[in-house]
Amino acid sequence: MATLALPSQISPAALSALVEHAVLPQALAVTTAARRVLSGADLPLEGRNVVITGGSSGIGAAAALKVAGAGGTVILVARSIDKLDAVKQEIEAAGGSAYTYSCDVTDNESVDALVEQLVADHGQIHMLVNNAGRSIRRSIALSYDRFHDFERTMSLNYFAAVRLILRLLPHMSENGFGHIVNISSIGAQTNPPRFSAYVASKAALDAFSRVVASEVVGKGVGFTTVHMPLVRTPMIAPTSMYDAFPTLSPEEAADMVLRALVKRPKEIGTPMGTFGELAYTLAPGLVDKILHQAYKVFPDSLAAKGELDESPERQGLSRSGQMLARASILVQDQPLSRAAKTMMRLLPGIHW
């Protein structure tokens, strides 16, 4: 079949005239540049290979669809290959391009093998989205004997992201281009109570990226930190009071990720996050007192307290039955007081 190559600068009017006069019959293949002019679509990530960790659900899956829609080649990374393949199929059904790789990003050898395979398969890795993460909501009074909470959040939220960055930075620097997007949290700006493990892990990655950015900017490599507000994903499902909170959808969160990849600013966040940073800079003592009131009006969950019913009769249920029984408790958990509802409305986007 013959292929007609068209100049990338051809005007829409000229291209339309060609089509109208049957110069481009359906039997001929049209170049990507011509298709873009025909459709009027912008493909700002065309030619970019974009790695997204935690791409099997939530923000990662939604961002993958957005990246593919913007012309990027999506490289999905997570432990569950079955879930990744489902996202890949959705991307390909929409006309995009995606690849999947199973990897435990908390394991050195697994990450080494992943990066070696990515470079072998795709030549150049242009962008990395560090999206994989975990959240723990538990007051410090309930954490005295739970040091492992801090270890596991740092392992995934901080060390795993740094591990991937360290493996890809030499590759990006050698090629003269790279962009790294770290999905951080509004919590790193607003310091909400009960999130000491989670916020510390995100703040560590924020600080790491700020320091490294000044060292690699001359090599064409940049960083964007996305201070994400509360998003309705499986991560927040165990905290039932969040059902009443205003949240972003995964698709709205994915728009922030896409902007980070296309515009490549230093930081993307919300006015509430910026306000939180400024308030703490100007009046840290006052902010502590306000946050203490939030600590008092938003309770620990039953899960955080370890009070979910694990009675012998429940242990006889099937796994699905136990999950339903546990969910029935969580649904009734954490009723919001009037003060809590007021604070939730006045300070939207913060995960209390």
- Helices 58-69, 250-263: inter-axial angle, 10-degree rounding: 50
Tell whether the model's pLDDT for residue 304 goes beyond 70: no
Q: What dihedral do alpha carbons 301, 303, 307, 313 form, nearest 10°?
A: 140
Q: Is 249 helix (H, G, I), strand (E, B) or coil?
A: coil
* Lowest mean pLDDT across 5-14, 83-92, 111-120, 340-349: 5-14
d(CA 207, CA 214): 12
Total residue length of the chain: 352
> Residue ranges of the alpha helices (H) in 105-195?
108-122, 147-153, 160-175, 187-190
- pTM (two decimals): 0.77
pLDDT for 138 equals 93
Q: Measuring CA to CA, how many Å separate 131 from each of 53, 170, 229?
A: 5, 21, 14
- The tens digit of pLDDT for each residue in 139-156 reads 999 999 999 999 999 999
Higher pLDDT, 169 or 238: 169
Tell whether the model's pLDDT for residue 302 goes beyond 70: no
Is there a catalytic annotation at residue 144?
Answer: no
Tell whether the model's pLDDT for residue 101 goes beyond 80: yes
The pLDDT-based confidence of 299 (bands split at 50, 70, 90) is: confident
* CB of 63 closer than 8 Å to CB of 52: yes
* Contacts for 230 with CB less than 8 Å, ≥ 6 apart: 186, 236, 242, 245, 246, 247, 248, 349, 350, 351
**Of the ranges 4-13, 96-105, 231-240, 305-314, the best mean pLDDT one:** 96-105
Which CATH number is 42-271 given?
Answer: 3.40.50.720
Q: Is 171 helix (H, G, I), strand (E, B) or coil?
A: helix
Q: Map out the domains of the chain as residue ranges.
A: 42-271
* Contacts for 112 with CB less than 8 Å, ≥ 6 apart: 167
- The tens digit of pLDDT for each residue in 255-291 reads 999 999 999 999 999 999 999 999 999 999 999 999 9
pLDDT for 103 equals 97
DSSP 132: -
Instruction: Compute CA 19 distance to the chain's CA centroid, rounded to the nearest angstrom.
Output: 42
Residue 122's identity, in one-letter code, is: H
pLDDT for 108 equals 96
The pLDDT-based confidence of 23 (bands split at 50, 70, 90) is: very low
d(CA 269, CA 227): 5
* Contacts for 47 with CB less than 8 Å, ≥ 6 apart: 71
pLDDT for 335 equals 63
pLDDT for 298 equals 79
d(CA 86, CA 83): 5
d(CA 177, CA 184): 22
Residue 81, token pair as written in the block: 């290959």
User: 212: alpha, beta or left, given left = phi > 0 and alpha = psi -120 to 50?
Assistant: alpha
- The tens digit of pLDDT for each residue in 195-244 reads 999 999 999 999 999 999 999 999 999 999 999 998 865 554 555 555 55
Q: Looking at 198, 242, 280, 295, which residue is catalytic?
A: 198
- Helices 108-122, 160-175: inter-axial angle, 10-degree rounding: 30
- Find the radius of gyration of the CA atoms of the chain: 23
Residue 60's identity, in one-letter code, is: G
Arithmetic mean of pLDDT over the chain: 82
